Amino acid sequence: MNNVILMKKVKELMFQTLHSREQSLRVMVQSATICKAFGVKNDEYETEKSVAADYERNVVMSDNEIRNDFNKYMGFLKWVIEQNDLDKQREYKNRLHDFVEAVGFFNKELYEEFYQTIYN
């Protein structure tokens, strides 16, 4: 993926005005997922106006590592469902959905796989 496009997405997430706790959690999950997948460091997007170098940036996580992260989110959701905590269930369903949406930004095959797992 082109680094300029990647950093534009990261900055779009990191520098938006947050209006709710849900939005804050969504931004946290999506930005962390994308940054972890590409090995983006904090100093690469320190300011909204920092300039990103133009080059092709590869995903540093394997598909299996991303699947493991997905399975962790699924595990948390299953645990919360067992606890019968409806508020936490909603929160963790949202986190899982946000994770899958973030993966969809850079890996359509995994996005489809995760989507099928969740919604079928």
Chain segment 18-31, per-residue pLDDT in tens: 999 999 999 999 99
- What pLDDT score does 53 carry? 85
The pLDDT assigned to 43 comes to 82
Mean pLDDT of the region 38-44: 89
CA dihedral 24, 87, 77, 120 (to 10 degrees): -100
CA angle, 94 as apex, 8 and 99 as ends, to 5°?
Answer: 45
Give the model's confidence band at 71: pLDDT under 50 very low, under 70 low, under 90 confident, else very high: very high
pLDDT at 50: 73
**Structural domain containing residue 71:** 3-119
Residue whose entry in the numeric block shows the structure tokens 């005005």: 17
State the pLDDT at residue 42.
Answer: 85
Between CA 70 and CA 75 the distance in angstroms is: 9
SS3 67: helix
Q: Quick one: pLDDT at residue 119?
A: 86
Rounded CA separation 114/91 (Å): 18
3 state SS of 56: strand
Please give the tally of structural domains in the chain: 1
**CB distance 33 to 65 below 8 Å:** no
Count, residues in the chain: 120
Measure the CA–CA gap between 72 and 57, rounded to whole angstroms. 26
